[in-house]
Amino acid sequence: MRRQASTERGASGGRYGPAGRTAILLVFLLLMTIITGAAAESTPGSGFSRNPAAIETAAASAVRLEVYDRDGNRIGTGSGFAAFEPAVLVTAAHVIVNMDHMIATKDDGTTFRIDRAYDADTDADVAICELPEDAGLPPLKWSREAPARGEPATAIGSQFGLINLVTMGNVCGRWEAGGVNWILFTAPVSGGSSGGPLLNDEGSVMGVITGTYDKAQNLNLAAPYEAAAKLYGTDNDEGGTSK
């Protein structure tokens, strides 16, 4: 004789009573909290590199540079950015070789002339130039913290003369050579990028883009904060440092 299976039902006619359903709901909510927390830990934070508005603001401090000799011939292009104070432009030293003057183009397309280079360090490939009073470039802040391998890196540069292109990658290491502790990074750069800022995920400048290894696969170099600060003549927290 076959016995028919039976189930106990609560007052509402369901399989579980009110207390049982409440317990199940609490377990479900606990599991969702654990899963959400684990996902948050495994997902990168929404820093500067994922904030288009912040990147637009930083780009307003960078310029394309067209370099001219004393005969009025254009001899090169590069990038630069305001730092330390509104009157100072930072770029790469090799950008200003044989420079008589430069024409800087801002992110909004307006231009101005630069006639004076304060100083240059050819070993670190960093130079500092004088900005005119009406340049209107807000100085970017520096980071004094040593960049860590794997942290996000955002490069702003006028590659091939295109104004303030933004590329992203990460810091892949440091390289000590010629007395400079170079930053190695993977954000793509090419001709015209030299002198642009390399920013961390807080939107602070960690280095000045100086070059790339043409025989390597996306291995690029930036001079660190210390090189620019030494040239400018400060190693303290004044002049636009954030750390």
Task: Copy the structure tokens of residue 8.
Answer: 């106990």
Distance CA(82)–CA(61), nearest Å, equals 6
This prediction has a pTM of 0.78
Strand order in the sheet with 88-91: 111-114, 101-105, 62-68, 74-82, 88-91, 126-130, 117-121
Q: Compute φ and ψ for 22, nearest 5 degrees.
A: -65, -40
Beta bridge partners of 120: 127
The pLDDT tens digits for 168-197 are 999 999 999 999 999 999 999 999 999 999
Give the least confident one: 65-74, 114-123, 213-222.
Answer: 213-222
| pLDDT band at 5; cut points 50, 70, 90 | very low
The pLDDT tens digits for 130-159 are 999 999 999 999 999 999 999 999 999 999
| pLDDT band at 29; cut points 50, 70, 90 | low
Element (H, E) at 57: helix 52-59
